[in-house]
Structure 1
Amino acid sequence: MPDRLHAREFLKLVTDDFTELPPPERNSAPDGPIGWRGYDGSRLRAAERTGEEESVVCGTGRVEGTRAVLIAFEFGYLGGSLGERTGDRLEAAYTHARRHRLPVVPLIATGGSRMQEGMLALTQLQRVARQSVLTRQAGLAQIAVLRDPTTGGGWATLGAGADVVLALPGAQVGFAGSRVRPADADPAAYTAETQVAVGAADALVPPEELRARLGHWLRLLTSGSAAPAPVPAALGATGLPATGWDAVRRARAPERPRADAYLGAYFTHREDLAGDRAGGLDPDGMRCGFGTHKGRTVAYAAQTGAATRPAGYRTAARLVRLADRLGIPVLTLVDTPGAANDADAEREGAGAAIADLFAAVAAARTPITTLVIGEGGSGGALALAAPGNTWAAPDSYFSVIAPELAAAILKRPATEVEATADQLRIRPQDLVELGVIRGIAGT
């Protein structure tokens, strides 16, 4: 398990400076709002142990130069639990963030809601959710850091509800805390590592790297620009294909540059988003995240050349919506033979996932730039393409369906696949003539 630093020690770990916000005042009845016998004594002992008057410390500070509102939980104060006064402080912190246009960084270590305040404690989760939504609507980023432990309502609101979720290795993370989960439950399921593995958190970050990584994420998510992302230079073949089948052959060539090469050439530094927040990842089919291109932030969603799985489409939709809300332009790279069409993909909701990405792209107000860098296979590729601002590399194609499948649907023999490719008019120059794409990327 990672060390459980006190709230103020953790703030020193991640900030250049920190100024605490004045806590709101609240008159408390003896032993709290439901008269829980001994509650006042428990709070007094917690204050003596920790030096804190509540389970959160809220204020403003700079992380690698970027100013933010930080919310640090003190687990030593009644297990970092949420009560009415905790809710007061959280609401005041989010309100301050919106008033001053600052991102919010919850540094979470909590066991959940405070039993000594009963249902009034549980309803603080609704207050927190409301503040998070208002902050999201204001176009401000929220980056959560999961410390040990992050369980219960703190995980289900401040943690899992953040735009980006970073986790300390070895931290206990899960909705069910250790004392309430089933006795035969696999303890590995309630870890930061598992939450990253299933796409509920974005990255494991060791404490010694946290300030730098958090600082970079804050810079990326607070530097939006209205200008579209420039079209990347083509990295592969320069000449145009002579035939439709020649376009297919070149796009399928193993040596052709893929997404990682394009992203590496385009960005000086980047941070990946992982997972669709619904239990899935597509590490072999989709890359999503934010990076720095010539000094400004650009979001990216890039297919890698494999068949894209439902989790990949959902992750891309998550990326597009987040970038749109923060006013950050998006670059998408199309490269897939098509959507995964196996039985598991259907069970995972392939159609709904593709529809959701189509909707996210269609609704986006931030500019989206698309480059087809390889195979553009049917609707599984088109879902990632920007209407009116899609370009193609010379060694790519875009087709209503793969030529082999088109021939099969038309009941043509295999000997007519190449001719079918020509008929489909899938070469980059054909796509320009048809008005499907704006142009062909240069080198």
Structure 2
Amino acid sequence: MPTVTTSMQLCDNVLDLGSFMSWDTEPVQVAMSEQYRADLEAAREKSGLDESVVTGEGRIRGRRVAVIACEFGFLAGSVGVAAAERIVSAIERATAERLPLLASPTSGGTRMQEGTVAFLQMVKIAAAIKIHKEAHLPYLVYLRHPTTGGVFASWGSLGHVTVAEPGALVGFLGPRVYESLHGATFPEGVQTSENLYQRGVIDGVVPVRWLRPILDRVLRVLGGTPKLPDRFEPAPLIEELPDIPAWESVLASRSPIRPGSRSVLRHGATTLTPLSGTGQGESDRSMLLYLARLSGTPCVVLAQDRAVSADSDAFGPAALREARRGMRLAEELRLPLVLIIDTMGAALSKDAEERGLAGEIARCLAELVTLRCPTVSVLLGQGTGGGALAMLPADRVLCALNGWLAPLPPEGASAIVYRSTGRAADIAAQQGIRSRDLMRSGIVDAIIPEVPDAAQEPIPFSQRVAAAIAREIRELALRPPQQRHAARLRRYREFGLPTG
């Protein structure tokens, strides 16, 4: 187990030197027994603090942030009425002053000496955090060893981004409580930060000495100011795009050396922070979720990783639930959402059916098309079935020259129509799945060139895609939000109807 990091050690590691200013006031008084009074006095003498929580503000590379940090040396970091009041007051002040909030719990949970009254304090803490997030302000969590009980089950689990110390004990039920109740030890390796990261409960495992640069990188996106142009920046002029048959585009999109989403982000993003999983115990490696800056513009990126989904029964319900997490993140923080589509289709399996695949596709569609934040989707390559459609309906839809969109792989559609996969090329042409046809039908707004094929120019193509996305985000930022939102709803409401 790691050594316990104190609240002041955390502040010294994370904040600019000498920038911390305390917000703490005298703890509120509660009714207490003589024994509890003695316990508090002993805790104050041992820790040098007057309560189990320290609050205040500081700077991370010049940027103001509010800080709430537990002190495990004070009655095991437990939270009673006085500590909870200090926490809520700090959250409310951070909200009023529009500051990002960094919370770092380390606690055995609610304070047993105060009984059920202490237990109920978790309600007002959770409510204050909800209001902070509804104000479109970042809430970041760093879980320190150990974090258990009601603290983990409330303000420790509500972060936009949540990371933890290596080897930290993190869990709802403390091992000692479990053992006393059940007469057996809790299964080893479950309540660790590493396991929770692998299971998609938290976003990463970070030593305290690395936390400062990572928080700076996150805040450059979540607390960043986008570069807004004075006018729309038109796309660079290009020669007329080649008339490539649909089946050739399908084959090109399946090339093992074709650059995918990771290449676009590697060569086109200036800031990139990966997040992990749904935050609810699920993850799917075929879905990538990032906080990023593209050409200086902060955004949330959801991207399908074709290299992973091609080798496994991936892109199932967990991937779509992770996509919905990204949608909520963009909406709560008023960031543009970028969706990169490159998939052979959603998983076809017993497990996917039983875990609600169809319902997750439906919820993605409903949430994405009604989001208030700006949205840009990109058909980077393969766009097969509901797995592609779930990430498509955006304010602006781009398509690589050899990108395509179809309800089924052409071979599958051929099998249905002709009872043979041998007419896949014919069905691809008939269904209008290629980029030129998608643009003609109004599904796609612009085509990103490949010169002559993305596989032959991976870096320039990746940079071209990223530049096109950033250009669209900047153009959308010039539109009044209500007008942009109404236009998106109207577009999909009227799609396919006869014109004129």
Please indicate the TM-score interval, normalised by the length of the shorter structure.
Answer: over 0.9
1:53 aligns with 2:50: yes
2:375–2:395 contact (8 Å) kept in structure 1: no
**Distance in 2 separating the partners of 1:250 and 1:147:** 48
Matched AA of 1:390: V
Match of 1:23 in 2: 25
Q: Report matched runs for 1:278-317 at 5 Å.
A: 278-283=280-285, 285-305=286-306, 306=309, 307-317=314-324
Q: Relative to structure 1, is the Cα distance of residues 377 and 24 closer, same or farther in structure 2, using a 3 angstrom cutoff?
A: farther
1:300 is paired with a residue whose SS is strand
State the 1:241 CA deviation: 5.7
Match of 2:13 in 1: 13
2:365–2:393 contact (8 Å) kept in structure 1: no
**Distance in 1 separating the partners of 2:201 and 2:367:** 20
1:125 aligns with 2:122: yes
2:405 is paired with a residue whose SS is strand
**Distance in 1 separating the partners of 2:326 and 2:228:** 18
Q: Relative to structure 1, is the Cα distance of residues 209 and 388 closer, same or farther in structure 2, using a 3 angstrom cutoff?
A: closer
Matched AA of 2:10: F
Matched AA of 2:20: F
1:253 aligns with 2:282: no
Q: Percent identity?
A: 33
State the 1:278 CA deviation: 2.2
Matched AA of 1:246: E
Q: Report matched runs for 1:375-386 at 5 Å.
A: 375-386=382-393
Match of 2:91 in 1: 94
Q: CA RMSD in A?
A: 2.0
1:272–1:290 contact (8 Å) kept in structure 2: yes
2:30 is paired with a residue whose SS is coil
**Distance in 2 separating the partners of 1:53 and 1:356:** 48
**Distance in 2 separating the partners of 1:23 and 1:411:** 77
Match of 1:176 in 2: 173
Match of 2:459 in 1: none
TM-score where L is the length of structure 1: 0.93
**Distance in 1 separating the partners of 2:154 and 2:242:** 52
1:129–1:157 contact (8 Å) kept in structure 2: yes
Q: Which deviates the most, 57-66 or 352-361?
A: 352-361
State the 1:298 CA deviation: 1.7
Matched AA of 1:60: E
Match of 1:217 in 2: 218
Matched AA of 1:202: D
2:105 is paired with a residue whose SS is strand
1:223 is paired with a residue whose SS is coil
**Distance in 2 separating the partners of 1:188 and 1:402:** 42
**Where is the helix percentage greater, Structure 1 or Structure 2?**
2
**Distance in 1 separating the partners of 2:395 and 2:40:** 61
Q: Report matched runs for 1:76-95 at 5 Å.
A: 76-95=73-92
State the 1:3 CA deviation: 2.1
State the 1:25 CA deviation: 4.8
Q: Which deviates the most, 21-30 or 132-141?
A: 21-30
Match of 2:155 in 1: 158
Match of 2:396 in 1: 389
**Distance in 2 separating the partners of 1:64 and 1:52:** 27
Match of 2:135 in 1: 138
**Distance in 2 separating the partners of 1:329 and 1:225:** 10
Match of 1:34 in 2: none
Match of 1:3 in 2: 3
1:273–1:288 contact (8 Å) kept in structure 2: yes
**Distance in 1 separating the partners of 2:447 and 2:428:** 19
State the 1:239 CA deviation: 6.0
1:272 is paired with a residue whose SS is strand
Deviations 1:121-176 (A, max 9, x none): 00011011111111111111110001000111111111211111011111000101
1:240–1:428 contact (8 Å) kept in structure 2: no
2:92–2:128 contact (8 Å) kept in structure 1: yes
Q: Report matched runs for 1:280-429 at 5 Å.
A: 280-283=282-285, 285-305=286-306, 306=309, 307-429=314-436
1:241–1:247 contact (8 Å) kept in structure 2: no
**Distance in 1 separating the partners of 2:352 and 2:78:** 40
**Distance in 2 separating the partners of 1:356 and 1:123:** 33
Q: Relative to structure 1, is the Cα distance of residues 25 and 46 closer, same or farther in structure 2, using a 3 angstrom cutoff?
A: closer
TM-score where L is the length of structure 2: 0.83
1:398 is paired with a residue whose SS is coil
Matched AA of 1:11: C
Matched AA of 1:252: R
* Equivalent residues, number: 432
2:30–2:82 contact (8 Å) kept in structure 1: no
Note the residue ranges of structure 2 that are not aligned, 5 or more in a row: 450-463, 465-500
Matched AA of 1:140: L
**Distance in 2 separating the partners of 1:30 and 1:242:** 79
2:55–2:67 contact (8 Å) kept in structure 1: yes
Match of 2:244 in 1: 242
